[in-house]
Amino acid sequence: MKAIILSAGEGTRMRPLTLTKPKTMLPVAGKPIMQYNIEILRDNGIKDILLIVGYKEDIVKNYFKDGKEFGVNISYKTQTNLAGTANAIGYGEDFINDSVIVLNGDLILNNDIIEELISKYNESEVDTLMVLKEVNNPSSFGVVEVENGLVKNIVEKPKKGEAPSNLINTGIYIFNKDIFDKINKTQISSRGEYEITDSLSMQIEENKIVKAYVTTKDWIDVGRPWELIEINERLLKKIKGEIKGKVESGVTIHGEVFLDEGSILKSGVYIEGSVYIGKNCDIGPNSYIRGNTYFGDNVHVGNAVEIKNSIIMENTNVGHLSYVGDSVIGSNCNIAAGTNIANLRFDNKSVKTIIKNKKEDSGRRKLGAIIGDSVKTGINSSFSPGVKVGSSSTIGSGVLLYHDVGSNMRILV
Ligand code: TTP
């Protein structure tokens, strides 16, 4: 069997991190989200993978190339107009011979889901096998009604209280060739997209066999910035410590710490794993690195810095005497000395943040800042919980930032 992974979307809810990278290429716990999916497919014997790319496609192509380095054969199709998931999957029509696994590239999955999916698929009996998951808040997903193991109806994002069940579409399927017939007939939806759920509804209307498989295994659809922090936490909890770089005397390490080649932990650094440190990083002296933190390659952390539960992407510097908690900091940033990111409200309520012009509750009591690529902060700048900063902006010395900032802005006191 072959596989198609969808990676063309703009990831608008994940801004500002997706202003400069596709969502599927955002790094968590040591690698981009989509690499986890490619490796799961590979480990289940799926070697031929078509990536549907579009938004910032060069970043995907330059990283995965022909897939050989990752033990698979990768080919690409460009979705020229981001017209929806049915339109995206339609690009795979010439790629498949019989049946194909399709999955969204922005998922983080338990490995067993793909293994169980393949074992449950019986080509001669089923047209589509769809993976579902039971959740408490179905209304923000495609909600699926199931009868006798078959999918009866799919409702996209129903109003709260109107969901016909608690089972949601996970964005993972096995299709036979019939789906392309339906995709070609799919009309544009009220949301202005060609949606694969509409193609599936056509299959159901024509009495094709659309079977449901409800998984109990971990599945996360990564949509919003704080979900990146959550999966980073979960994935880091599974890492095995290994020291490939240099550790000076006077460093204390607790828990699992992965230190990649060319990196150094300077004297006085105190680390509570799980922590993943990429290549050629320079940490310390005297810094306190707390659990569930991931540093990309070439990150520098100065003297007396405290960082916890955060993603710090490649080529970023965090200057001395700074605090970063429950935050995501993009690539090529310079976080100057004395920058402080608050991650807890005075009233202890969960932190809210603006997603596509609407205030959303992250559900997290602790959430720091979400900072895009190439941002510079000045000395003694401070950030309120949940604040977002667009790429290439400068936050001047002494600024206390209460509100989100767009890209290419200069904020001065
Ligand atoms: P979504 O999460 O619906 O869209 P998105 O990733 O662009 O994010 P946002 O809603 O924040 O803007 O997409 C689900 C998956 O399908 C995701 O992996 C991207 C992919 N996709 C495409 O490949 N082409 C498309 O036209 C669309 C809409 C999505």
In angstroms, the CA 115 to CA 112 distance is 5
Q: Tell me the CA–centroid distance for residue 274 and ligand 1, in Å.
A: 31
Q: Tell me the CA–centroid distance for residue 17 and ligand 1, in Å.
A: 15
Using DSSP, state whether 210 is helix, strand or coil.
strand
| Pocket-forming residues, ligand 1, beta carbon under 6 Å | 6-14, 23, 52, 79, 82-85, 87-88, 104-106, 193, 223
175 near 127, Cβ under 8 Å?
Answer: yes
In angstroms, the CA 343 to CA 360 distance is 16
**The pLDDT value given to residue 131:** 96
Say yes or no to pLDDT of 158 above 90: no
Mean pLDDT score, 303-331: 97
Mean pLDDT score, 230-249: 96
Mean pLDDT score, 319-335: 96
Closest CA to ligand 1's atom 9: 11
Q: Tell me the CA–centroid distance for residue 24 and ligand 1, in Å.
A: 10
Q: Tell me the CA–centroid distance for residue 279 and ligand 1, in Å.
A: 31
Test site for ligand 1: of 10, 106, 199, most ligand atoms within 8 A of the Cβ: 106
Using DSSP, state whether 381 is helix, strand or coil.
coil
Q: What is the pTM of this model?
A: 0.95
In angstroms, the CA 312 to CA 318 distance is 9
Q: What is the mean pLDDT of the chain?
A: 95
In angstroms, the CA 324 to CA 385 distance is 11
In angstroms, the CA 405 to CA 411 distance is 8
Rg of the chain, C-alpha, whole Å? 22
In angstroms, the CA 39 to CA 240 distance is 18
In angstroms, the CA 302 to CA 187 distance is 56
Tokens 């009866």 belong to residue: 152
As for the ipTM of the complex, it is: 0.96
pLDDT tens-digit map of 165-219:
999 999 999 999 999 999 999 999 988 999 999 999 999 999 999 999 999 999 9
Render the burial of 79-108: b for 16+ CB within 10 Å, e for the rest.
Answer: beeebbbbbbbbbbeebbeebbbbbbbbbb
Mean pLDDT score, 115-144: 92
Which of 82, 11, 9, 21 is closest to 374 using CA atoms? 21
134 C-beta neighbours (distance < 10 Å), count: 12
Contacting residues for 45 by C-beta, under 8 A, at least 6 apart: none
The band of 45, judged by pLDDT with boundaries at 50, 70 and 90, is very high
Say yes or no to pLDDT of 399 above 90: yes
The band of 56, judged by pLDDT with boundaries at 50, 70 and 90, is very high
Say yes or no to pLDDT of 157 above 90: no
**Run of H or E residues at 411:** strand 410-411
Mean pLDDT score, 33-39: 97
**The pLDDT value given to residue 313:** 98
Closest CA to ligand 1's atom 8: 11
Atom of ligand 1 nearest to the CA of 356: 11
Say yes or no to pLDDT of 162 above 90: no
Report H helices in 251-406.
Answer: none
Say yes or no to pLDDT of 228 above 90: yes
The band of 159, judged by pLDDT with boundaries at 50, 70 and 90, is confident
**The pLDDT value given to residue 140:** 84
Closest CA to ligand 1's atom 14: 104
**The pLDDT value given to residue 403:** 95
**The pLDDT value given to residue 191:** 85
**The pLDDT value given to residue 274:** 96
Contacting residues for 29 by C-beta, under 8 A, at least 6 apart: 231, 232, 235, 236, 239, 276, 294
Share of the chain above pLDDT 70, in %: 100
85 near 196, Cβ under 8 Å?
Answer: yes
**The pLDDT value given to residue 97:** 87
The band of 137, judged by pLDDT with boundaries at 50, 70 and 90, is confident
Residues acting as catalytic residues: 320
Say yes or no to pLDDT of 374 above 90: yes
Which residues on adjacent β-strands are paired with residue 173?
A: 102, 130
